[in-house]
Structure 1
Amino acid sequence: MIVPANPALIVGDMQKGILASYPFARQPVPAQLSLLSAARAGGLLVIFVRTHLRPTGADVSANNPLFQRFHQAGNLFHEGAEATEIAAELEARADEAVVGKRRTSAFAGTDLDLLLRAGHVDSLVLTGVATSAMVAATLVDALDLDYRVTVVSDACADAEPDVHDFFMERVFPARGARVTTSRAWIEDHRPEA
């Protein structure tokens, strides 16, 4: 038996510094704006996720070269820096949560699961950058936590388009996630007249 879904929209790593520094990260913004409008109109829980590391580096292990590079990038990923704020055009509303993360997955060491369970959420609509990093890691953790996951392909992006396509066409469906477009998701979730 399939229980009706209570979804939340997750917008991941769409922060000022990432959009300014990585041109591919701007690609999903139009689709995300459409999804945000539809989700807000439908009363869905909206949660923004951003990466921010302690300026001291206390949360960056010598065993993690990726996050060492992020930390060494300076204010681009430092907690409290303007670069880690959500991009202005996607700005979170006062009633929407912003979850700070210190690893790739939006679940690793954060209170995201608590927020979702408090909102009786059982499924995620996942968007953000990069497809092969934040989106993939969050998807795997969400599935392990028994959430149903829909990934909105045009609301995600990766620096390598062929990698994005591979994840959308092969990896995510093989893991049990639904992959769709923003237009199709919005059409499927229009309020009944």
Structure 2
Amino acid sequence: MQTGILANYPFSRAPVPAMRSLVSAARAHGILVVLVRTELRVSGLDVSANNSLFTAFHQAGPLFHEGSGETDIIPELAPQAEDAVITKRRTSAFAGTELDLVLRAQRIETIALTGVATSAMVAGTLYDALDRDFRATVLSDACADAERDVHDFFMERIFPARGARVMTAGSWLAEVG
């Protein structure tokens, strides 16, 4: 949930209230909060011409460029000292990052995913997490996609078929206590 994404993609604002509640509850219960941002080097050294999605992200200007301010986590979810902030340069939050190391160092085996876009970044991270043998829950109202029917299809059909639990933020909060 980066400032530039929320400013440029209106659909991405919808999950913010649920995320605020989730982050607050997780911190209150001593649950690790991991905030992920997508940043690309201004030089483009980390962008392959073979990757059309990230080439487009890089060419979009400072929206995804490191150090631009556009990649800052939104103030409503501002990182705290006890949180982990992961910088990714690909779709999955695991690809080329220290996320797996942080989770395993903390003996975490179950994760709850939120984010945008459901069909891209959330899906990529979920599939990677499942391949790494994490149990995963996707919080449906704390995710969004530019197309609502695509979001619903992933939540109702794709994610459960892959072995993920799908539930609302409210249901997850009730379980946390």
TM norm structure 1: 0.91
Corresponding residue to 2:14 among 27, 39, 62: 27
Task: Measure, in 1, the Cα distance between the counterparts of 2:96 and 2:5.
Answer: 21
Corresponding residue to 1:160 among 143, 147, 158: 147
Task: Measure, in 1, the Cα distance between the counterparts of 2:115 and 2:10.
Answer: 13
Task: Measure, in 1, the Cα distance between the counterparts of 2:81 and 2:57.
Answer: 28
Of structures 1 and 2, the one scoring higher in RCO (CA 8 A, sep 6+) is 1
CA offset at residue 52 of structure 1?
A: 0.2
In the TM superposition, what whole-angstrom CA distance separates every residue of 1:24-65 from its partner, at most 9, and x where no partner exists?
000000000111111111100110000000000000000001
Superposed CA RMSD in Å reads 0.5
CA offset at residue 70 of structure 1?
A: 0.3
Instruction: Give the SS at the match of 2:41.
Output: coil
Stretches of structure 2 lacking an aligned partner (at least 5 in a row): none
How many residues get paired? Answer: 177
2:76 is aligned to 89
Task: Measure, in 1, the Cα distance between the counterparts of 2:74 and 2:25.
Answer: 19
CA offset at residue 16 of structure 1?
A: 0.4
In the TM superposition, what whole-angstrom CA distance separates every residue of 1:54-113 from its partner, at most 9, and x where no partner exists?
000000000001101100011100011100000111111122111000001000110000
Q: State whether structure 2 residue 42 is matched by structure 1 residue 55.
A: yes
1:115 is aligned to 102
| Moved segments of 4+, more than 4 Å | none
Instruction: Give the SS at the match of 2:35.
Output: strand
In the TM superposition, what whole-angstrom CA distance separates every residue of 1:119-172 from its partner, at most 9, and x where no partner exists?
110011000000001100000000000000000000000000000000000000
Stretches of structure 1 lacking an aligned partner (at least 5 in a row): 1-13
Amino acid at match of 2:61: G
Q: How does 1:6-85 map to 2 (within 5 A)?
A: 14-85=1-72
TM norm structure 2: 0.99
Task: Measure, in 2, the Cα distance between the counterparts of 1:115 and 1:21.
Answer: 31
2:156 is aligned to 169
Instruction: Give the SS at the match of 1:61.
Output: coil
Instruction: Give the SS at the match of 1:84.
Output: coil
Task: Measure, in 1, the Cα distance between the counterparts of 2:25 and 2:88.
Answer: 26
| Native 8 Å contact 2:32 2:82 kept in 1 | no
Amino acid at match of 1:31: A
* Percent identical: 67
Amino acid at match of 1:94: A
Corresponding residue to 1:105 among 88, 92, 110: 92
